[in-house]
Structure 1
């Protein structure tokens, strides 16, 4: 069994926050308006399941950026560890899709790709990274923006051992 240290938990929290700031797949005015409807302050409380189960408490703020962009910043607390992330969500014309780019204080960076589904948005993040010991990690997240809530499911899997961390955090205003 792999022990999940502070950096592993920080990577998991970074993924949660990165994933939580997300967007749609067509740049129609209604889709941009849908993205902007999530501007505001969000709070989330959920669980991180790995070798132990721990409570995760998060805050996130989405603000108006330049043009049709939405900026976000957030912070999560878990077992005395603080993680902060910041980024921008926008429709990227060159790629013909919505993207959410982020950076964190846990050395994790990534880009999530989003699609409009029904009346909401679903975003997926898939990255490969290494932990503090150089072990390969697969990082995935799915974020659902539906109505007046955001649901984040995030998982980190150690490639060699199959050990994992899974977090589920619902956000509300």
Structure 2
């Protein structure tokens, strides 16, 4: 069984807030796309559970605010087993790519690109990445963030390639 070290848990916390990375091209979105993004502006709080070798509580907060050029900025923090992860980033509709995208920086050096699609009255962002832990073991990261009018649901999973051991988290957010 793989022991999930501090860096692996930090990657997991990064995924809980918004798994993403990379810079945006200028966003030139339709008014409806901009309005959808801006509908999530506000303060969000989440509490959930991370299950791996042990089950641990996760507590998160997330602030979304108006950014430049029809973008929405976010800042967040999660706490798990005495560890803190902070992130900052941007959500936008990128006209050149004809899709919603999320960009992130974190204190866990986690990077990636989350692509979003409209689903009903909300947005769903998906991420799939492969990383290495502090011991050089490869693991796959999968994350899904569902933004609904009054809720955000984050599901995140880390699976070690060699052993198949996994770490899974689900955190519902509300205003």
TM-score for the superposition, normalised by structure 1: 0.93
- Alpha carbons 1:103, 1:110 under 8 Å: kept: no
Residue 167 of structure 1 deviates from its aligned partner by: 0.4
Per-residue CA deviation, residues 19-53 of structure 1 (Å, 9 max, x unaligned), is: 49xxxxx9431221011010011100000000000
Measure the CA separation in 1 of the matches of 2:29 and 2:168: 32
Indicate whether 1:17 and 2:12 are aligned. no
Where in structure 2 are the equivalents of 1:156-171 lying within 5 Å? 156-171=158-173
Where in structure 2 are the equivalents of 1:4-153 lying within 5 Å?
4-19=4-19, 27-153=29-155
Contact 1:8 1:131 in 2 (8 A): yes
> Pairwise CA RMSD of aligned residues?
1.4
Deviation at 1:125, TM superposition (A): 0.9
3-state SS of the aligned residue for 2:10?
helix
Give secondary structure in 1 for the equivalent of 2:113.
strand
Runs of 4+ in structure 1 off by over 3 angstroms are none
The aligned counterpart of 1:23 is none
SS at 2:112 equivalent: strand
Using the size of structure 2 for normalisation, the TM-score is 0.92
Show structure 2 runs of 5+ residues with no match.
21-27
- The answer to whether the Cα contact below 8 Å between 2:40 and 2:149 also exists between their aligned partners in 1 is no
**How many residue pairs get matched?**
168
What is the CA–CA distance in structure 2 between the aligned matches of 1:168 and 1:116, rounded to whole Å?
Answer: 21
Query: Structure 1: 5+ residue runs without aligned partners?
Result: 21-25
